[in-house]
Amino acid sequence: MPALDLALLEELREFMEDDVFSLIDEFEIDTQERLAAIEQAIINRDAGTLRAMAHTMKGGAASLGAENLSQHFRGLEYRGRDASFQDIQQDFSNAKRCFADSMVLLRKWLAEDK
């Protein structure tokens, strides 16, 4: 299960106060939409879209302290950069699973932090 950078999350909470809740909600919705775009890019073998979507999500995950998730998106970004689609489905599945696990941890952190 992915770990979160709790120190970074605490800094966010201190800076954003209750807005951190909406930030995490927006991240979840945005990531779901971008995962769908990544999946379509994989189907269409659209390396540019794969790279761009993964790059954006890499930064979003890192900004919330979800470093493992960020690493998964970094790998997908490199796949897009290199137009490397062979056996990519496993990497994509791992990224989706890590996203789900990260959201569980983020929601748990939010619940504990109230």
Confidence category of residue 52, pLDDT binned at 50, 70, 90: very high
Section 1-9 average pLDDT: 79
6-113 CATH: 1.20.120.160
Least confident of 18-22, 36-40, 44-48: 18-22
Question: Does 1 score more than 50 pLDDT?
Answer: no
Which pLDDT score is estimated for 13? 87
Q: What is the mean pLDDT of the chain?
A: 92
Question: Does 98 score more than 60 pLDDT?
Answer: yes
Beta-carbon contacts of residue 103 (< 8 Å; ≥ 6 apart): 28
DSSP summary character for residue 9: H
Alpha carbon separation from 35 to 50, 86, 88 (Å, rounded): 10, 18, 14
Alpha carbon separation from 67 to 9, 26, 39, 82, 97 (Å, rounded): 12, 18, 21, 22, 14
What does 30-97 look like in DSSP terms, one character per residue? HHHHHHHHHHHHHHHT-HHHHHHHHHHHHHHHHHTT-HHHHHHHHHHHHHHHTT--TTHHHHHHHHHH
